Amino acid sequence: MALQERAVRTRETVLRAASEAFAAKGFLGTSMAEILDLAQVTKGALYFHFGSKEELAASIIAEQEKAARRVVETVVAESAPPLDKAVAITVRWAHTVQTDPQVRAGARLMTEWRGPDGGPMAPYAWWQGVIRDLLAEARDRGDLHPGVDIDLAAEFVVSSFTCSQSLWGILCEHPDLSGRVRSLWQLLLTGMLADEHRAAATGPAPVAAAG
């Protein structure tokens, strides 16, 4: 049991070190030697858990996907209108990117590293599906203008969020990514809301707390 617990701790130590390196320098800018130095484990221990930099990157992205599902499940379970849930999911995820190094590394890896199979595209399709379903609920409630193309809107939200995430990470390491996402929604909702709701939408888009 002690050996198993030590192996788990070593793996987590390596993942934290790799996340720190990937978040700061990206996939191409990070070497296994740098990760080894940050982790302060033996070379044998590192390669026992991860045979290559590609395996490390894939593991970090997998952990990021788990974190994303936890955020979505938490918000969807709350009692709130579907449009508010869509906004809250993206704002809370932005907060997670800002505060969790492993998630931040995964977000950067997804935009920089294509991998041997062409890249991790499934998460983008999943995000679009989540937002699309909530927009469809909002449309059925009469909250959205009937002419809104919810497929196009969902694609726009996910692609715009991804671009905002990448740009702010490059320029200033996500100082206010959540604020950028709120601004994105405020701009988008002025064109999507039903007429009776649009007149009242004079302030920022309604969102739940980031925590």
Single-letter residue type at 134: L
What CA–CA distance (Å, rounded) separates 105 from 123?
Answer: 15
Mean pLDDT calculated for residue range 92-102: 88
Helices (H), the chain: 2-25, 32-39, 43-49, 53-76, 82-99, 101-112, 122-140, 150-172, 177-192, 195-198
Q: Look at residues 201, 80, 206, 57 and name the one whose alpha carbon lies nearest to residue 137.
A: 80
Mean pLDDT calculated for residue range 87-104: 89
pLDDT of residue 202: 45
What CA–CA distance (Å, rounded) separates 163 from 185?
Answer: 14
Q: Look at residues 33, 7, 105 and name the one whose alpha carbon lies nearest to residue 62.
A: 105
The pLDDT tens digits of the residues spanning 193-202 come to: 666 665 555 4
Position 65 pLDDT exceeds 50: yes
What CA–CA distance (Å, rounded) separates 164 from 158?
Answer: 10
Q: Look at residues 184, 185, 179 and name the one whose alpha carbon lies nearest to residue 210.
A: 179
pLDDT of residue 117: 54
Q: Look at residues 153, 124, 134 and name the one whose alpha carbon lies nearest to residue 76.
A: 134
- Exposure of 33 by Cβ count < 10 A (0-12 exposed, 13-18 middle, 19+ buried)? exposed
The pLDDT tens digits of the residues spanning 131-175 come to: 999 999 999 998 888 888 999 999 988 888 877 776 655 555 556
Position 1 pLDDT exceeds 50: no
pLDDT of residue 161: 81
Domain ranges of the chain: 58-198
Mean pLDDT calculated for residue range 102-113: 84
pLDDT of residue 173: 53
Q: Which pTM does this prediction carry?
A: 0.77
What is the percent of the chain with per-residue pLDDT over 90, rounded to a whole number? 38
Position 123 pLDDT exceeds 60: yes
DSSP-derived letter for residue 147 is T
Mean pLDDT calculated for residue range 1-29: 87
Fold of the CATH domain 58-198: Tetracycline Repressor; domain 2 (1.10.357)
What CA–CA distance (Å, rounded) separates 198 from 167?
Answer: 29
Position 75 pLDDT exceeds 80: yes
DSSP-derived letter for residue 193 is B
Between helices 150-172 and 177-192, what is the axis angle to 10°?
150
The pair phi, psi for residue 52, each rounded to 5°, is -160, 170
What CA–CA distance (Å, rounded) separates 5 from 153?
Answer: 46
Residue carrying structure tokens 């996910």: 158
